[in-house]
Chains A and B, each alone.
Chain A
Amino acid sequence: MLAFKALRGRGLRAPVAVLGVAVICVLVLVLRGAGGGVDDAIEGYAGQPAVDLWVMPVGTESLLRATALLPEDISARVASVDGVASVAPLARAFSRVEHGDTHLAMLGLGYDVASGMGGPKAWAAGRAPSRAGEVALDRVGAWRLGVGVGDEVLVNGTSAEVVGLSVGTNLLVNQFVFQTPDAIGAQNGTAGRASYLLVALERGVSARRVADAIEAYVPATRAWTREDFTANNQHEAAEGFRPILALSFGLGAATSAILVALIVHGLVEDRRADMAVLLALGASSWRIALALLLHGVVLVTSGCVLGVAAAYALAWGLDRWVPVIPLSFSGQDTVGMFAVFLIASVLATAVSVLRLRQIDPMEAFRS
């Protein structure tokens, strides 16, 4: 520990490096958290436990990629399949929601309010829409439009009262607006037609088996289990996001490693005379190398701890005051990031440590 203490950096270099690592950690966690927030929203909506199967036209795989509408008589046909307990329609349309000079393109969903199937997981305020002329907006969408419960908005040109604000329905680039299926049909001229059919199964029935039966019985349909449909949506939403995330994560780790390596490199140069004295006094090179590596570990650990704390604070603050970006990251994310940063930094530090070989203990006599 004395060698570690003796080889501390001078001035503000170490605090600045810690701050740099912390900022990089925040950046990485924000990017990961944004992806995680979208994942959570999809998991919460598409993975709602009341729905066992999502039935849709062939070619449709997710909420965002929908190719056609289902035939009018499909509800009765699907309901007659063995193992099906109940069905509920879900109409989907892109909706332009306006309030004053502000407008948003939102994902409109008309769901069966009575069964609740296809509705939001939870409400931040208000209630579900019960008739045409009522809408429930995602909380973030409402925040961006500047409206609350009781306000009037235009949905595809039709006036509607905001009766509820939903949570867990923000896909970052898209937020949901909930209406009744009839209201969606009336706006789009698709009355009586559903985009999806949500199926609840009898207890103990195999979802996969019933899905196969529905596809065989109703031509040109595809029945996805809840898990598969959730995975489809997560894949769809993250397809363009994940490479950017992976790249930023790699760049973050590399930058952190370079920062720490620079500090340790500076330490080796700055404390060359001290190291020569230590070598002359009989300290081994490995003891000095260990002290330097420990400096690298302390720097990156301090930076990560500070960065993780700042990222959690940022996520809390955003959710409370500017809920546009849903940030959700787990302990596993932070531990993984720390491990990668630590390994990268130790490797980078090791390169600087190799310069110890160039230090001649006789320098202690000359300095």
Chain B
Amino acid sequence: MTPLSMILVSKTRGTGARATPALQGVDLDVSPGEVLLLTGPSGSGKTTLLGVAAGLLSVDSGRVLAAGADLATLSAAALRSHRARTIGFVFQHANLLEGLTARENVAMAAVLAGLKDVDQAVDATLDAVGMLALADRRPSELSGGQEQRVAVARALVHRPLLVLADEPTASLDSASGAAVAHALTELASRRGAAVVVATHDPRMTRVATRQVHLVDGRLSP
């Protein structure tokens, strides 16, 4: 099953005089286990591409097949369920839920994905990113790098086919950034997930298997 396939996808943001093309005829295939680096200047459409791949944004034209499903054919509820089960997210600022502990944050994704043995899956994933010892801490008690490693665990706890990461190392120092990049790609690789990383960070190129460049919504190799 192809984790992500985009066929001639176009997407316009805004309306009327403010309408700007965010994606223009994007063709993209991501294979299982692949770590695809998506680079490009600010406003080039990287985040829009991630949103379209997740089904959070609809497209004006073209087709998006994510984790084996044509997103345009799914109802809102089916799309939500499909996303919860097959896609993982890593955001720029981790975006952990601050009312929950690290363990509960990871468990949230597992519950939404409908996992049966949530506790076992959560502990195994936190262990894999080296955060099991700090599992009962709240996000405010963790460093930026630790928070992002918990976010990686949250993205991968339910063994998704596709992980979408938006600038996952941008706000981290060198050591933390390298640790997060390693944790993300290592764990995704072990679990057979494809990873699409939108980033400016050159550190990520070391762990990527392929890189594409996005300018004004158009892909260039």
A: which residues have CB within 8 A of B? 2-3, 5-8, 273-274, 277-278, 280-284, 361-362, 364-367
5 smallest beta-carbon distances between A and B, as pairs? A282-B84, A6-B97, A282-B112, A6-B99, A282-B83
The answer to whether B50 has its CB under 8 Å from any CB of chain A is: yes
Expressed in whole angstroms, the Cα–Cα distance for A3 and B99 within the complex equals 9
24 residue pairs of the A-B complex, CB under 8 angstroms, read: A2-B100, A2-B107, A2-B111, A5-B104, A6-B97, A7-B99, A274-B97, A277-B91, A278-B97, A278-B108, A280-B54, A280-B56, A280-B83, A281-B89, A281-B109, A281-B112, A282-B80, A282-B81, A283-B84, A284-B77, A284-B80, A365-B47, A365-B50, A365-B166
B80-112: contact bitstring with A at CB < 8 Å (1 yes, 0 no)?
A: 110111000101110101111000100111011
Given contacts A2-B108, A361-B56, could you give 10 more A-B pairs where the C-beta distance is less than 8 Å?
A2-B104, A2-B107, A5-B104, A274-B98, A280-B83, A282-B113, A364-B95, A365-B47, A365-B92, A367-B93
- Residue B57 interfacial (CB < 8 Å): yes
A6 touches B100 (CB 8 A): yes
A364 to B90, CA, bound (A): 10
A277 / chain B contacts, CB cutoff of 8 Å: 91, 95, 97
Tell me the bound Cα distance from A281 to B97 in angstroms.
12
Residues of B within 8 A of A (CB): 47, 50-51, 54, 56-57, 77, 80-81, 83-85, 89, 91-93, 95, 97-100, 104, 107-109, 111-113, 154, 166
For chain A, what secondary structure do more than half of its interface residues adopt (helix, strand, loop), or is it mixed? helix
| B111 shortest CB reach to chain A, Å | 6
A345 CB to closest chain B CB (Å) equals: 21
How many angstroms from the CA of A365 to the CA of B99 in the assembled complex?
19
Among A2, A8, A284, chain B packs the most CB atoms within 10 A around the CB of: A2
Determine the chain B residues whose CB is within 8 A of the CB of A367 once the complex forms.
Answer: 91, 93, 95
Once bound together, how far apart are the Cα atoms of A5 and B101, in whole Å?
Answer: 10
Cβ–Cβ < 8 Å partners of B113 in chain A: 282
The 8 Å CB contact of B91, one of A7, A283, A364, is A364
Q: Are B112 and A283 in contact (CB under 8 A)?
A: yes
Interface centre among B56, B83, B97, B104 (most CB of A within 10 A): B97
User: How distant is A328 from chain B, measured CB to nearest CB, in Å?
Assistant: 43
Enumerate chain A residues within 8 angstroms of B50, measured Cβ to Cβ: 365
Across-interface contacts of B83 in A (CB, < 8 A):
280-282
